[in-house]
Structure 1
Amino acid sequence: MNGALRDGLEGWGMQGTWSAFAVRGFRVVWLAGLLSVAGDQLARVALAILVFERTGSAGLSAATYALSMLPALVSGALLSWLADRFPRRRVLVACDVVRALLVAVMAVPAVPLPLMAALLVLVQLAEAPFSAAQGAVLPELLGGRYEAGQAVQQVTTQLCLVLGFAAAAFVVTGVGAHAALAIDAATFAVSAVLLRTGLGVHPPPSDGVADGVVGGATWWRRSWHQVAAGAVAVRRDRRLTTLVWLGWLALFTVVPEGLAVPFARQVGADGGWVGVLLAAEPAGAVAGALLLRRIARPARVRALGVLAVGTSAPLMAYWAQPGLGAALALLFVSGMCSAYQVTAGATFVQLSPPQVRGRTLGFARTGMVAGQGLGIVLGGLLAQLAGPATAIAAAGTAGALVALAAAAAWARRRPDAVSAALPAEA
């Protein structure tokens, strides 16, 4: 990592965070992930524009967005166990190669929309085992630097989202939707090469045989057995259960994202402000992550419940039907508090048994995706009846109440003892 970037991170309160870059494997995984995030931003905008241009239907354009989430409900449950069954580098590279090939086909102008939708589903199916393998390998690479690495990923990913929302539409308009999809395919290909040449094999911690599953079991039975193994591991440890609960609160705070377009129309803002509304929460998350890195880990762990409440509470102000400026401020504050997810996620991974870490991650992420999809659907239905601001306010109120219960549960988990049980920070 160069000195200027390191000094910049330290100057913004990220003391010690740059140490994660001392690990070569982390640099490879970080850069590969960043390439994929940047490419995916282009692809999402490209597909939305492409579908709207071909059909003129806002409903079909929204359905395309839903297709980027729904397959994860299946793959997160049925495919995440691959990260604990095969060498993790092999899983990462295979998923990237599959996605590169599928998106390359999507980039061909002659591909009809139904086939493109089917290919998009397959692309998203490959995301879950990739994320599970990535999440499982990082603790092995970083050890005591793990949360520092998580903070780096959070900040840079959120910055990619902020810049992506602002720039993707201009890029797609400039080069065309199909060219943007080709760029996304290239990012997956480059990521695969980086991981294959720069990352160690990282065999799974078990003997490679699915626990308790006989060799003659069908793939379907084996998959569900692995799903159950992840769920059981979480249920057996109340600390993991509560951390999952804290993570799944995102189902409430994702509602403003799903209602950005109708809310912008409600307050009389033009289409250009939609990207700003979408970028406000990720921008706040970046600021929150930078601030949290100034605080010692025991205090961060203790604060998880309070910050979870703080993520939803600002949305309650939407009951007052705020204007555009106030809404941006509320979303920014909500995003700042949402940075607790970095510490919650890092704590969850470090407490998960290594032999089932991929499966516990798959279980947690599947639930989060399911919750976010449910939140967007219910928020949209309520917005149809009462308006987008009221729907966001209702989601914030419900989220704050559930977060209060989660915060009380976390206090009973003895956060100081949890923090003491984690590997020492480097």
Structure 2
Amino acid sequence: MRPAGAPRQLVLFRALVAGTSISAFGSYLNMVALNLFVYQATGSAMQTGGFMALRLGAGFVAGLGGGTVAARLPRRPVMVACDLTQAAALVGLVLAPSSVRLGLLPLVAVATGLLGTTSTVLLRSSVPDLVGAADRVTANGLLVTGRAIAMALGFAAGGVLVGWWGYRAAFLVDAGTFVVSAALLAALPLQFPSRRSRTAQPAAVKPKDGTRRHRRETLAALVAAPVILVVVLVRAVDALGSASHNVGLPVYATQIWPQDPAAFVGHFFAVWAVGLFAAHQVVRRLGTGRSGLDGPRRSETGFVVGTCLMSAAFIVAFTDLPGQWVLLVAFVAGAADGFTEITYTTRLQAEPDPQRGWFFGLTAMAENGGLGLGMLLAAGLLEVWRPLYVAAAMHGAVVVLTLGVVLFGLLHRPTATPVEGAPNPPADALAPTEGSRP
């Protein structure tokens, strides 16, 4: 049954999504403007790559500590502080003298990677408390839709703003989006999770001992729910495979459309973002409840199928298809990517708090670490292989892994032995209870 306050909670959550989408728009705008600024300021592709790697590394560290932050600190103030600190870092970059600006770039990379990932972990792990367990699929779809719109507009606006008004204007716009997001976070009357880890901890337990206890509880939860380890592993390999098209697509575009490769890449990712937006509509058609995707088994299956389909689509995208077919494949890849994100976040949110904060931190580590390693690997392979072969090898590994997970699950599916004389349990009785609390 859906709680009586769910409609109001969803209305408030939509306003929160609007705020986070505005800050995401600034982040994607910044990916264009800041990376170009770093390259022009340093004149070195190596230093530009180092800047991007530093930002990914900071995101990896944020995933490592995200569970501790979620369990130990009040989430709303932390998220507000993350937004305001990123805004301050960008304003500082704008106001700094030219002689100091280059030295501030590593600090900006760490701030955007560390604080952006921390905010994402806290928000995703709080969704069941913000909207209720029954509406978390809808809420996750709203987050994916907001990200799709922010991505399309941010990438499009980045080049325009830099071309018209310069880098400083782009950085100030980005800082303004973080301020708007922080204001909405602070003002909306949403009920974020309480600090259960502190209130439940006996007074005689020292903070260090409490941290160790939470780590032991998280390890115990991972052992009790090995499917979470599978999700983390698949996300890591998926991120590694995604590096092949992020690095390989500009190379491929230069080969097949040398007259305007930037237009090819822009069109591809614009259509991909449209597919990402469509994923929420697909989930809405599938519905929620017993027949929808919020059951653990169904969300697990949807996650595996979506990941496999996405990787297969990106392989096909490098097979010299005519223009309209490439765009169709980009749409399928975007829709599968959005569907995968909704299903995996829904599955992790079925776990109790504060464990799910640790689980989202682990997936953030997997995504940032996999993407960073994948970029290095893809860059090396592209020196000797065609983009198709690189995508086939790296995305093919994702497909093989997901199919292996399905096969392993079919071969090792537990069977319940009914007790003689006892009534048969309902179909979902053996599945973990969603929304349960310790």
Smaller-chain TM-score range?
A: 0.7 to 0.9
CA displacement 1:294-349 (0-9 Å, x = unmatched): 11444642443333221112233367444655443333222222233234233333
2:94 and 2:232 mapped to 1: Cα distance?
Answer: 37
Alpha-carbon separation, structure 2, partners of 1:370 and 1:223: 24
Q: Distance in 2 between matches of 1:225 and 1:114?
A: 40
Aligned to 1:154: 144
Is the alpha carbon distance of 1:420 and 1:397 closer, same or farther for their aligned partners in structure 2, counting shifts above 3 Å?
Answer: same
| Alignment of 1:250 onto 2:238 | yes
Question: What displacement does 1:152 show?
Answer: 1.1
Q: Cα–Cα, structure 1 residues 79 and 383, in superposed 2: closer, same or farther, change >3 Å?
A: same
The aligned runs of 1:12-411 (5 Å cut-off) are 22-108=9-95, 110=97, 111-143=100-132, 144-199=134-189, 200=191, 202-207=193-198, 215=206, 217=208, 230-251=218-239, 252-269=241-258, 270=260, 271-297=262-288, 298=291, 300=293, 301=298, 302-317=301-316, 320-322=319-321, 325-409=324-408
What's the offset of the Cα at 1:22? Answer: 5.0
Alignment CA distance shift 1:21-1:33 (3 Å): farther
Residue 285 of structure 2: SS of its match in structure 1? coil
Does the 8 Å contact 1:159/1:282 carry over to 2?
A: yes
- Where do 5+ consecutive residues of structure 2 fail to align? 1-5, 415-426
How much identity, in percent, do the aligned residues show? 23
Q: How far 1:253 moved relative to its partner?
A: 3.2
Distance 1:62 1:228 in 2: 37
The 8 Å contact of residues 351 and 435 in structure 2, kept in 1 or not, is answered as no
Once residues 195 and 291 of structure 1 are traced to their aligned partners in structure 2, the CA distance between those partners, rounded to angstroms, is: 28
In the superposition, relative to structure 1, how do residues 106 and 231 fare at CA in structure 2: closer, same or farther (>3 Å)? farther
Q: Compared with structure 1, are the counterparts of its residues 77 and 50 closer, same or farther at alpha carbon in structure 2 (3 Å cutoff)?
A: same
CA distance in 1, matches of 2:63, 2:22: 22
Q: Which residue of 2 aligns with 1:10?
A: none
Return the index of the structure with the highest Cα Rg: 2
CA deviation vs aligned residue, 1:326-377 (integer Å, no higher than 9, x gap): 4433332222222332342333333222122222211122112211222222
Q: Point out where structure 1 has 5 or more consecutive residues left out of the alignment.
A: 1-18
CA shift, 1:96, in A, is 1.7
Q: Residues of 2 paired with 1:229 and 1:385: CA distance?
A: 46
| C-alpha distance in 2 between matches for 1:366 and 1:360 | 10
AA of the residue aligned to 2:336:
C
RMSD: 3.1
TM-score by length of 2: 0.81
Give the whole-Å Cα distance in 1 for the aligned partners of 2:308 and 2:353. 30
Q: How does 1:3-18 map to 2 (within 5 A)?
A: none
1 CA distance for matches of 2:384 and 2:355? 44
Cα separation, partners in 2 of 1:128 and 1:316, compared to 1, 3 Å? closer
Q: Is the CA contact (8 Å cut-off) linking 1:304 and 1:340 kept in structure 2? A: yes
In 2, Cα distance between equivalents of 1:413 and 1:359: 26
Is the Cα contact below 8 Å between 2:70 and 2:354 reproduced in 1? no
User: 1:210, 1:385 → 2: CA distance?
Assistant: 56
Distance 1:279 1:54, change over 3 A: same
Question: TM-score with structure 1 length normalisation?
Answer: 0.83
Would the aligned equivalents of 1:102 and 1:119 in 2 still touch at CA under 8 Å?
A: yes
Change (3 A) 1:38 1:230: farther
